[in-house]
Chains A and B, each alone.
Chain A
């Protein structure tokens, strides 16, 4: 029974400005969360913050989704840092 209860994690990731938040969320929105995972991911932008919520019943799948998500954030941030047109 307890394993059916939905757990929710909300991450707030600050960026330098709103354009960066929108860019990051546009890149990430292209991929939908893996259907079989049972994890729902919702992205939203609030001024300079990217707000991501993960909701699901399975702890392991929740952890993998969040892990993969953060790896992608690192990838995008490094790309912005190194390859922005100044």
Chain B
């Protein structure tokens, strides 16, 4: 029975959560939201995390009813993500580990999403679509690795959507993707956009540039709602295609969508149509867990710790690049 605390801060969400044997005891989060038309940069994001981390930590401990003495392992996001924000969480996690005399464990952010998705949805062995502002990967488990079957060859789908939201100067609260989704629901006229699937992979930067370059012209014939609708339909169809391709290769009948973009109901709907055609089941979580959070780090860390994974204190670093398939999945033997 492992009690773990997890610190997450790889992007603009700061999350701290506590889990006990798969039971979520607390999940606290603060989001750094920039003005419309602006994205978040490393320095200011790190400052946001610095200013809020102690308050969030106290909240997480208080809500869980757990005392530091009871914690078995202190987990933090080792990567991938933005350097300065990651470092804030790592430093506080290290300090806590020493203050409380507990082992420390760095966790891969992507694996955090996957394991949280499996815990919440109870999906057995799904093909995973991991889509967020920073990542777009199709992942399938095989022999103690989460193997990347397909991915974006340039930017993440969430990045594409967020940057388009900036072009339209949509609000970034609660997130730019959410506001694009609401706009898209009111879209009526479909604009044919470049469709960019490359085998198992997708390319998104071209679609974004296409829209950015022509935005003045486009807004003469299409409303912002029409453009949001067209963009979503296009990029989500691409994601459904590469998911289906991976499922066919793996003979899989389950799809699990994780990551912030996984909250999008239109994406879930389109994936659901494909799944129904293949007699497959679709799994997704709600915004508490698809958006970056601390408890997913705690849970993935707890699984690794319980299976015997350990980290020396001197290795408790952060890294901006950390491949999902670099992690040995010691806690699964299927």
| A→B interface (CB under 8 Å) | 23, 26-27, 29-31, 71-72, 74-76, 78-80, 82-85
Chain A residue nearest in CB terms to B69: A85
- Say if the beta carbon of B58 comes within 8 Å of chain A: yes
**Are A75 and B98 interface neighbours, CB within 8 A?**
no
| B→A interface (CB under 8 Å) | 50, 53-54, 57-58, 68-69, 87-88, 90-92, 94-96, 98-100, 313-317
**Are B314 and A29 interface neighbours, CB within 8 A?**
yes
Nearest 10 CB-CB pairs, A to B? A79-B95, A27-B94, A23-B98, A76-B95, A27-B95, A79-B92, A84-B99, A82-B54, A30-B316, A75-B91
CA distance A3 to B316 in the complex (A): 35
CA distance A83 to B316 in the complex (A): 20
**A23 interface neighbour in B69, B90, B92, B99, Cβ under 8 Å:** B99
**Are A83 and B98 interface neighbours, CB within 8 A?**
no
Q: Known contacts A27-B94, A85-B99: does B54 contact A78 (CB below 8 Å)?
A: yes
With contacts A74-B50, A83-B57, A83-B96 known, what are 19 further pairs, Cβ within 8 A? A23-B95, A23-B98, A27-B95, A27-B98, A29-B314, A30-B94, A30-B315, A31-B87, A72-B91, A75-B91, A76-B91, A76-B95, A78-B54, A79-B54, A79-B92, A80-B99, A83-B95, A85-B68, A85-B99
**Are A82 and B98 interface neighbours, CB within 8 A?**
no
**Are A82 and B58 interface neighbours, CB within 8 A?**
yes
Contacts of A72 in B (CB 8 A): 87, 91
Chain B facing A: main interface SS? helix
Q: Known contacts A27-B91, A71-B50, A85-B69: does B316 contact A79 (CB below 8 Å)?
A: no
Q: List 7 A-B contacts (CB under 8 A).
A: A30-B94, A31-B317, A79-B95, A82-B58, A83-B54, A84-B99, A85-B68
**Are A30 and B317 interface neighbours, CB within 8 A?**
yes
CA distance A79 to B91 in the complex (A): 10
Contacts of B53 in A (CB 8 A): 75
In the assembled complex, how far is the CB of residue A16 from the closest CB belonging to chain B, in whole angstroms? 14
Contacts of B100 in A (CB 8 A): 83, 85
Chain A residue nearest in CB terms to B50: A75
In the assembled complex, how far is the CB of residue A85 from the closest CB belonging to chain B, in whole angstroms? 6
CA distance A11 to B53 in the complex (A): 26
